Structure 1
Amino acid sequence: MKKIVSVMLLIIMIFTISSCSKEKETSSEKLQTLNIGILQDTDSIPILIAKEQGYFKDENLDVNIEQFKSAQERDSALQSGKIDGAISDIMAAAFANDGGFNVKITSLTNGTYDLLVNKDENINSLQDLKGKSIAISKNTLIEYVTDMILKKAGLTDKDINKVSIPQMPTRLEMLQNGKVDAATLPNALATVAMMNGSKMLDNSNNLGINPGVLLFTSSAVDSKKSEIKAFYIAYNKAVDYLNKEPKSAYIDKVIEDGGFPKEIKDALKLPVYQKAALPDKKDFDDVIKWLTDKGLIKNNYNYSDLVTDEFIK
């Protein structure tokens, strides 16, 4: 009897060791690479920090970061399969799905978008913009923020001349060279403009709106679940780092990796970054209303149509 018990214990031990070994092997198994698109904006900094500090590697995840100069270039890369996800906005998610290319919003991002005027223009209030030209990126977060700022001042499209300049660096250059009277830019490039004399009239923070999001293609959501979950673990570690460490500890590397202008090093004001969370439903509904009122999309999307909580628990 003792011999039988001993044999059974031995079998159990072997099975347990084998299971633990297999579990350990599985936990350290290499995940698929995630390809992420970013723009020249402060929204992208947590991703840059997660890579620089090795937080992605801690999760056995390779993340390839692709930089784009315009939302159009980023969206083309998404639809061609060159990237799995991107720093984006609610508008882009609605446009993609309306066109038959399915993407899912997985979290919000923390960025600010400023409406600025050329230093040589005698524009001191939003009402002074009447009859002036404003450089934007058409049908994007940038135009949405611009419209919300104008609405606050009681102005409409008929009161101003919108100039579509998709590439952000070009938009900045045209503002600074006096080719347009005003422009709406993300925080990092807006900082450059203000350092060179441009005046900021209003921004998305003052309006209390945040339409910026992280999104992934439905294909990535279906086939790279473990990778996206690992991505967000690293993302949240980066947020903790950013909110704890002084800017001087990382700003040089962020400027280099993010393609930001070097001159903004001291002037750039970063947001208080939040750990990954879902976008506000009111922000979502307001964007969808803006798109439908303009006749830009055919479908009147509900929050659950485009937003998934699968990766934010």
Structure 2
Amino acid sequence: MKKSLQKLTAILTVLFAMLSFTGCGKQSAALRGNNSQEKQIITIGVMPDTDSIPLIIAEQRGYFKDEGVNVKLEHFKSARDRDSALQSGKLDGVITDILALIFAREGGFDLKITSSSVGDYKMVVGKNSGITSADKLKGKSVALSLNTLIEYSTDKILQASNLKIEDVKKMSIPEIPVRLEMLQNGKVDAATLPEPLATVAIKNGASLINSTSKLGINPGIIAFSQKSIDTKGNEIAAVYRAYNRAIEYIQNNKPSDYMDVVIKAAGFPEGVKDDLVLPEYKKAEMPSEKEIKDVIEWMKDKKLIKNDYKISELIYDKFINSDGK
């Protein structure tokens, strides 16, 4: 009888230990699941322009990793492809512009401005175009991407040159490298290009008409979907901490210290290394209300949008003004 009780006790002890181990295993798995949720991947769409340089540096120098966030930069050659990827849910955020954001909102996609970005967009004319000044653009072809920051910049440059929009022939060429190629091959008279491709064009003989930096225009932004803001707020806040560290690095180092890495990552042409003039990068801040209102007014004048928008509906400033929580 005594031996039977001892045997039963031993069996119960083993069973209890197995149940306890299983419970601990489930608890550990749950904790691992929570930890994985806390470090979700942030996917950001970028274009081959100078706006993207701070994010590329943050990636290359390990600032994202230091801030505890896993960031994947997706590179696009056209705004159309970038925006399609965003609205299909493949991206959390994008380096984009106010126009693209308004179009997204018009289509029912909840996208928010989380900060401005820094870039420069230039109208240049081909070396054999015969155009020596802005007034010579009348009747000439200008390559651009329609209903984007590029067209907005083009119209502002024309306006600053006392020209009407109807004075030029707009040619829609969404892919930026193709736009540059057509300019250099003489298939278009002029083109509006972002940096660094504008620098490439000028180096190869094109002439500058005007630029957004000279006009004080900067409608470029960084934006994230409301869904990602709601579910990945901590990660996006970490992205901005890394972004600001990259800005500090740019401010304290010469372009030659990092341009090789940037050229390779962004797919910039090799020839821009010594000629590219970078914009004045600043830590993350919101675009001015005037900038946003000017874009909305331009879109309404062109009958591109039907709805009215309040500034408060379009922005989310907590990532640059707090910890993002």
Please say whether Structure 1 and Structure 2 have the same fold, judged by a TM-score greater than 0.5.
yes
1:69 counterpart SS class: coil
* 1:149-172 residue CA offsets vs partner (Å, 9 max, x unmatched): 111122222211000000000000
Identity of aligned residues (%): 53
* 1:244-298 residue CA offsets vs partner (Å, 9 max, x unmatched): 0111111101000011011111111111210000001111100000001111011
User: How well do the aligned residues superpose, as a CA RMSD in angstroms?
Assistant: 1.3
Q: 2:216 aligns with which of 200, 203, 208?
A: 208
- Whether the aligned pair in 2 keeps the contact of 1:292 and 1:300 (CA below 8 Å) is no
Q: Distance in 2 between matches of 1:232 and 1:28?
A: 20
Aligned to 2:281: 273
Supply the AA of the counterpart residue of 2:109: F
1:148-297 matches, within 5 Å, as 148-297=156-305
Q: Distance in 1 between matches of 2:159 and 2:37?
A: 52
2:218 counterpart SS class: coil
Supply the AA of the counterpart residue of 1:234: A
Q: Distance in 2 between matches of 1:220 and 1:126?
A: 44
- Whether the aligned pair in 2 keeps the contact of 1:30 and 1:60 (CA below 8 Å) is no
User: Are the structure 2 counterparts of residues 29 and 298 from structure 1 closer, same or farther at C-alpha, using a change threshold of 3 Å?
Assistant: closer
Q: Distance in 2 between matches of 1:90 and 1:287?
A: 7
1:126 paired with 2:134, answer: yes
Aligned to 1:76: 84
User: Structure 2: any 5+ residue segments left out of the alignment?
Assistant: 1-33
Aligned to 2:71: 63
- Whether the aligned pair in 2 keeps the contact of 1:30 and 1:61 (CA below 8 Å) is no
Q: Distance in 2 between matches of 1:57 and 1:29?
A: 16
- Whether the aligned pair in 2 keeps the contact of 1:114 and 1:185 (CA below 8 Å) is yes
* 1:205-238 residue CA offsets vs partner (Å, 9 max, x unmatched): 1111100000011111111100110000000000
Query: Looking at CA atoms only, which structure, 1 or 2, has the larger radius of gyration?
Result: 2
Q: Distance in 2 between matches of 1:257 and 1:70?
A: 17
Q: Distance in 2 between matches of 1:301 and 1:181?
A: 37
Q: Distance in 1 between matches of 2:102 and 2:37?
A: 35
Q: Distance in 2 between matches of 1:229 and 1:105?
A: 14
User: Structure 1: any 5+ residue segments left out of the alignment?
Assistant: 1-25
2:294 counterpart SS class: helix
The number of residue pairs the alignment matches comes to 288
Q: 1:141 aligns with which of 129, 134, 149?
A: 149
Q: Distance in 1 between matches of 2:289 and 2:35?
A: 36
Supply the AA of the counterpart residue of 1:170: V
Q: Distance in 2 between matches of 1:126 and 1:221?
A: 43
Q: CA deviation at 1:28?
A: 11
1:312 counterpart SS class: helix
- Whether the aligned pair in 2 keeps the contact of 1:252 and 1:265 (CA below 8 Å) is yes
After the TM superposition, list the runs of 4 or more consecutive aligned residues in structure 1 that deviate by more than 6 angstroms. Answer: 26-29
